[in-house]
């Protein structure tokens, strides 16, 4: 089980789980993405055995589930041919990750066929699996059967503010409560290797009831380039876990998430894309109940092509928020 949000620093939840960070990661996009050089870079220990370390750890002090998914996909992709690409993955989080120790990734080669190959990956810490992932790879084949949904009509990313800019705007309010200020300052200090621009940012008091749907532009910080489509899919798998389960809370502004943990995560890749260019992430929660929530997501290229789809169920435990009138 991958715990992602504890919300211990503020009574007011944002509808994005974490912001893109400031500091060293906010450098020129001409620099090589840290997602390539560090976050998703595995050490090969033996055939089908890899070791991964951690770059960013959420405030919950548990490993970020997207990193484990992305690293597992890197390990699986290393065991297939150059012209075979992941088209789907299905993961179960079975234990919380420990940020103090590396993760071992053990790949099992289940099947190699003419068109499809299947790999099973176990992410292991302290001798026990923390994630079990099945990945299917496909050699691309042309087909006359093609259709997709239409991309939502939204403002381009150039017309929107980044999460850092939004937080700076909130912090500039002279009547901002000290507790809210402390929570936002901690969010701003996070160094996350992706950049986010919400289409419909939340109000800081989080009092407005919204549909359980969210839209934001997202891209990897730094340069990845056109070359390795396998790598772009690994980066997209990392990105797909951001702000995902938080979508279920948008209709309940009076509730604060005390505990949020991914149970499973599935993803399907449809078309080529670049994860270092702006993509629109559309998320919606079709159901919540029994302290669980289900969310579906779609990643769109700027030209309206559907790049990937994903789904996740997770545990969500909440408590009632006491509204602070001084904001």
pLDDT digits 0-9 by tens, 300-320: 999 999 999 999 999 999 998
- Higher-confidence position of 279 and 179: 279
pLDDT of residue 56: 65
Confidence of residue 234 (pLDDT cuts 50, 70, 90): very high
Mean pLDDT of 241-270: 90
| pLDDT higher than threshold 50 for residue 325 | no
| pLDDT higher than threshold 50 for residue 122 | yes
Confidence of residue 7 (pLDDT cuts 50, 70, 90): very low
| pLDDT higher than threshold 70 for residue 67 | yes
pLDDT of residue 198: 95
| pLDDT higher than threshold 50 for residue 27 | no
| pLDDT higher than threshold 90 for residue 54 | no
Distance CA 17, CA 34 (A): 20
Distance CA 253, CA 321 (A): 8
- Higher-confidence position of 122 and 180: 122
pLDDT of residue 241: 92
Cα three-residue angle 122-123-125, rounded to 5 degrees: 130
Confidence of residue 112 (pLDDT cuts 50, 70, 90): very high
Distance CA 316, CA 301 (A): 30
pLDDT of residue 173: 79
pLDDT of residue 206: 56
- Higher-confidence position of 170 and 57: 170
Distance CA 312, CA 264 (A): 6
pLDDT of residue 254: 82
What DSSP element (H or E) covers 102? none
In 3D space, the residue among 33, 54, 82, 2 whose CA is nearest the CA of residue 261 turns out to be 2
Confidence of residue 43 (pLDDT cuts 50, 70, 90): very high
Report, as residue numbers or ranges, the catalytic residues.
Answer: 241, 262, 312
pLDDT of residue 177: 76
pLDDT of residue 15: 36
Report helix, strand or coil for 204.
coil
pLDDT of residue 126: 96
As a whole-number percent, the residues of the chain with pLDDT over 70 amount to 84
Q: Which two tokens stand for residue 142?
A: 């042309």
| pLDDT higher than threshold 60 for residue 13 | no
| pLDDT higher than threshold 50 for residue 28 | no
- The DSSP secondary-structure symbol of 38 reads I
| pLDDT higher than threshold 80 for residue 3 | no
Report how far apart, in Å, the C-alpha atoms of 55 and of each of 30, 76, 278, 312 are: 20, 20, 22, 23
Contact by Cβ (8 Å): 234, 72: no
Distance CA 319, CA 267 (A): 30
Residues 6 or more apart in contact with residue 303 via CB below 8 angstroms:
none
Residues 6 or more apart in contact with residue 187 via CB below 8 angstroms:
14, 18, 19, 167
pLDDT of residue 284: 97
Contact by Cβ (8 Å): 20, 163: yes
pLDDT of residue 1: 55
Contact by Cβ (8 Å): 44, 27: no
| pLDDT higher than threshold 90 for residue 47 | yes
| pLDDT higher than threshold 90 for residue 228 | no
Distance CA 68, CA 133 (A): 10
Distance CA 327, CA 319 (A): 20
In 3D space, the residue among 192, 183, 218, 203 whose CA is nearest the CA of residue 297 turns out to be 218
Cα three-residue angle 92-267-212, rounded to 5 degrees: 90
In 3D space, the residue among 99, 119, 96, 117 whose CA is nearest the CA of residue 48 turns out to be 119
pLDDT of residue 229: 87
């Amino acid at each position: 089980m991958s715990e992602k949000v504890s919300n211990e620093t503020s009574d007011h939840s944002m509808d994005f789980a974490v912001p893109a960070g400031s500091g060293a990661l906010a450098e020129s996009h001409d620099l090589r993405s840290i997602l390539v050089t560090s976050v998703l870079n595995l050490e090969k220990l033996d055939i089908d055995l890899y070791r991964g370390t951690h770059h960013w750890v959420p405030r919950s002090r548990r490993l970020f589930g997207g990193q484990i998914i992305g690293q597992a996909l890197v390990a699986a992709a290393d065991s297939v041919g150059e012209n075979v690409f992941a088209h789907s993955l299905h993961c179960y989080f079975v234990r919380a990750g420990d940020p103090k120790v590396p993760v071992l990734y053990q790949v099992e080669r289940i099947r190699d066929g003419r068109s499809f190959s299947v790999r099973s990956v176990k992410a292991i810490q302290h001798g026990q699996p923390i994630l079990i992932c099945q990945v299917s790879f496909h050699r691309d084949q042309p087909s006359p059967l093609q259709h997709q949904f239409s991309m939502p009509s939204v403002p381009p990313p150039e017309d929107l503010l980044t999460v850092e800019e939004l937080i700076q705007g909130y912090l500039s309010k002279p009547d901002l409560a000290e507790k809210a200020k402390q929570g936002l300052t901690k969010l701003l200090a996070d160094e996350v290797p992706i950049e986010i621009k919400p289409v419909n940012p939340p109000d800081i008091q989080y009092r407005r009831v919204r549909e359980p749907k969210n839209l934001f532009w997202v891209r990897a910080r730094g340069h990845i380039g056109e070359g390795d489509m396998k790598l772009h899919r690994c980066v997209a798998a990392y990105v797909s876990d951001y702000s995902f389960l938080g979508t279920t809370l948008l209709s309940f502004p009076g509730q604060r998430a005390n505990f949020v943990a991914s149970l499973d995560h599935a993803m399907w890749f449809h078309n080529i894309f670049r994860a270092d260019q702006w993509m629109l992430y559309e998320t919606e929660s079709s159901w919540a109940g029994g302290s669980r929530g289900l969310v579906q997501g779609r990643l769109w290229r700027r030209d309206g092509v559907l790049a990937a789809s994903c789904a996740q169920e997770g545990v969500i435990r909440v408590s009632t928020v006491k509204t602070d009138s001084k904001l």
